[in-house]
Amino acid sequence: MNQTRGDLEYLYISNQLCEAKIALQGAHIFHFQTKGKRPLLWLSESACFEKGKAIRGGVPICWPWFGAHPTDHTLPNHGFARTALWKHISTEETNNKTTKVLLQLKDSPESLRLWPYHFELTLEITLAHELSISLITKNVDSRPFVITDALHTYLAIENINEIYVDGLNQKPYYNKVDDTYNNIQEGRLYFKQETDRVYAEVSSNVSIHENTTVVNVRTEGSQTLVVWNPGEELTKRMPDLSDHKTMLCLESANALKDEVLLQPNKSHRLTSIITQG
C-alpha cells in the first residue's frame, strides 16, 4: 500500500509478525517493528521527508561511495542512492509471517554526471521476526568499477549512557573523531562522548546490550562495521537530529580498505540481518 509523508511516497507493509515503512526515495526503510516490541529503527523527530534530502534515521543507503567522495568533495556525501527515486519492483508475501520487498535503481543521465558508470542496484528487504536488508550491486558497464557502500542503520535505544556493544574485542579500528588509525578495541564498547569508528576484520555477530534487551547485527558481504553516535555537541549542530541519547548506528559497510572491485557483469551483495531479543 502506498502512502505519503511530507513530499515522499512510501510503502506500508504489515504481516502477522511485523510492520514496516519504506520510502521510495532512497529505498529507505524508516520504520520496522515486530509485534509486541518497541520499534527496532530510530527515526529523528526532526527528520526531513523532502525530495532530494536524506531522511535522518532508519536505514539510509550509502552508495557508490561511503562518506565524502575520495577525490571530489563537491559531490554528495555518501553518494546519490539515498536521495534518488527508486522503482518498486515487487512485494511478495511468502507466507503470513514473511514479506519480501524488491526495489531497484539504474543509471540515468543524472547519475552518470555524478558517477560515469552503468549499473543496476537492487535492494532486497525481508520482513519477518528479523529484518534482513541486502544491497546488490551489478556492474552492467563495459569497464570495471570500484565502490564503497553502507547500510547506515540507526537503531533505537533508551539511553546511550546505559548500553554497551559486544563482539568487537581486539578488532582494529579507525577513529574518525581524532583521525587516528591502528587502534585496537579492548573489551566492550561503552559510550560517554561522540563516537565515530570504522572497525575492520568483523566476521561475527555484533550486539547492543541494554538492560534485558539485546539487538544483534550480522553482516554478510563485508568485514567492516561502522559505529556512530554524534554525542551532545555535534547533535546541537545538526538540525535534523533530534536526540543522540536514543540512537546508535551500527552500519554494515564496505569502507576504507574494504572496497569492492566489480568486473563487468559481476555482482556484489552486502547484507545486514538484525534481530531483537
| pLDDT tens column, 28-42 | 999 999 999 999 999
The partner residues of 105 in beta bridges, in order of sequence, read 121
pLDDT surpasses 90 at 277: no
Hey, which bits of 96-176 come out as E strands?
A: 98-106, 119-127, 131-139, 145-147, 149-151, 154-156, 164-166, 172-175
pLDDT digits (tens, 9 = 90+) for 123-145: 999 999 999 999 999 999 999 99
Q: How far apart are CA 37 and CA 212, in angstroms?
A: 13
pLDDT surpasses 90 at 104: yes
Q: Grid coordinates standing for 274? A: 538484525
Phi, psi of 21 (to 5 degrees): -130, 130
Spell out the residues 6+ positions from residue 205 whose beta carbon is closer than 8 angstroms to its own.
167, 216, 217, 218
Q: How far apart are CA 160 and CA 169, in angstroms?
A: 19
Task: Look up cell 546541537; give the residue.
Answer: 236
Inter-residue contact 267 to 138 (CB < 8 Å): yes
Report helix, strand or coil for 114. Answer: helix
Q: Which domain holds residue 147?
A: 2-276
pLDDT, mean over the chain:
96
256 Rama sector, left if φ>0, alpha if ψ -120 to 50, beta otherwise:
left
Q: How far apart are CA 55 and CA 24, in angstroms?
A: 12
Closest C-alpha among 195, 193, 194, 197 to residue 183: 197
What domain count does the chain have? 1
Cα angle 130, 131, 135; round to 5: 145
Cα angle 154, 218, 132; round to 5: 70
pLDDT surpasses 80 at 1: no
Average pLDDT of the segment spanning 221-249: 95
| Share of residues in the chain with pLDDT > 90 (%) | 94
pLDDT at residue number 212: 86
Task: Look up cell 578495541; give the residue.
Answer: 185
Spell out the residues 6+ positions from residue 69 whose beta carbon is closer than 8 angstroms to its own.
75, 76, 79
Phi, psi of 159 (to 5 degrees): -160, 115
pLDDT at residue number 154: 98
The partner residues of 43 in beta bridges, in order of sequence, read 57
Average pLDDT of the segment spanning 168-195: 97
In this structure, which amino acid lies at residue 150? A
The radius of gyration of the chain's CA atoms, rounded to the nearest angstrom, is 18
pLDDT at residue number 65: 98
> If pLDDT is split at 50, 70 and 90, which confidence band does 53 have?
very high
Average pLDDT of the segment spanning 262-275: 98
Inter-residue contact 251 to 146 (CB < 8 Å): no
For residue 276, what is the enclosing H or E element? Answer: strand 267-276
The partner residues of 9 in beta bridges, in order of sequence, read 4
**Tell me, what CATH number does 25's domain have?**
2.70.98.10
